[in-house]
Amino acid sequence: MNRREYLKAISILGAGILSAPYLKASEPFLNPELKASMFGSDFLWGAATAAYQIEGARNVDGKGESIWDKFSHTKGKIKTGETGDEACDFYHHFEQDILLMKSMNLKVFRFSISWPRIFPNGTGEINQAGVDFYHKVIDCCIKNGIQPWITLYHWDLPQKLEDKGGWTNREVIKWFTEYADFVTKAYGLKVKNWMVLNEPLSYTAVGYLFGIHAPGHKGLKRFFPAAHHTTICQAEGGRIIRRNVKDANIGTTFSCSYIEGIKNKPKHLKSVKRFDAFVNRLFLEPALGMGYPVNDLPVLKKIEKYMLPGDTEKMKFDFDFIGLQNYTREIVKGNALIPYLHGLPVPAKKRGAEITENGWEVYPEGIYHLLKKYAAYPNMPKIIITENGAAFEDTVEDGKIQDIKRTDFLKKYLEQVLKAKNEGVNVGGYFCWSFMDNFEWAEGFKPRFGLVHIDFKTQQRIVKDSGLWYKDFLGK
């Protein structure tokens, strides 16, 4: 795959679609005195992380190998040559980090469970040390007045299961069911807020179609079964949580970014529709009982090869909330010669747009349009922004990080969330990505998204100016 690895797998496949000519750069602040109180007393505020990106402790206390452990140790797979072996060493610093969250007025900590830390071989034998670790994290959150929100799967599949085909093997439904059943029983008395999957399109397409992320496979023959089995696990995970956790609040998360045609012409708008079906609707609509969006992306008919009788019903689940994750927008230029999607995104840098360190366009209005788009589904539950943030280069001067661009990013995006809420969109929370700088997958440690700066050599934590702004914004 070329054209710069299909434009870095369509900016790691975050997309949501509207079909109008693209708009100008974002406006100045709408609410200079923006405060969390404007969103209502029941609006949830927090920050998000993922196990492999922060925990470290790769071989500690019986943890098994994940696909990211293996992938990051494979030469040439990580841009910087780094691994997540130590990362932020959250495994040994969790108490310090949760106290830091408390000092920053965060009320929600979204984190994921490392599947191979619980099941080193993917199934079967339980690693009690791993089980105990998450009990300690949860207890520390509760002690400090922070709600733990758990993601069951944030991309770190046990390598032992990948050796058997991973998400391409239909047995993964049984493996995931065993894992989800154990975890929700283990922690369900303490934790009521759960997310089944993080960005299913990202790990299936970027990992099994484009080969940029773990496990590094390429081709539609791997993508289609991985996608279908993921769709069933997404719903099955919801059913398991409903069964095991009394009064559970259950969701799953999708990455999306506002996408428009470069011009209001049929060839561009046709491509926009295909991008929409692939990137923004592929996993959402089956959960809503609408099936796969085959009519708008005919190649998805090939997924039917992997469907068994009764699967259509198994793909449905009545979630309590949907996690919307937004970072950027894309402008699509139609081209019938491009297979399947019939178009390509035009890079933001080439368009002269304001961009983050990793080349994503800063376009706050996009999150407003996406909230409106999601809310337009007739059976859409509450929406929570489960990730939103930006990577900018940080410089430590006199023990401080003056990250003005990140602070401005957060302000402008939150203004647009408030605008959508004030217009009736049922949006109930915002979790910043990320609480701290971490291992950003195939990009290594260079992109820094954190509210908290991490010195990866010393593990020193410094709250950035953006984190101090967020603290003041939230109040007590």
Reference 343, options 277, 256, 270, 279; nearest CA is 270
Q: Is 387 a catalytic residue?
A: yes
**Among this protein's residues, is 393 annotated catalytic?**
no
Q: Among residues 104, 212, 197, 215, which one has the least CA distance to residue 152?
A: 197
Q: CB of 442 within 8 A of CB of 62? A: no
Set 55, 65, 199, 440: catalytic member = 199
Of 236, 387, 415, 440, catalytic: 387
CA–CA gap between residue 409 and residue 356 (Å, rounded): 10
Residues with a known catalytic role: 199, 387
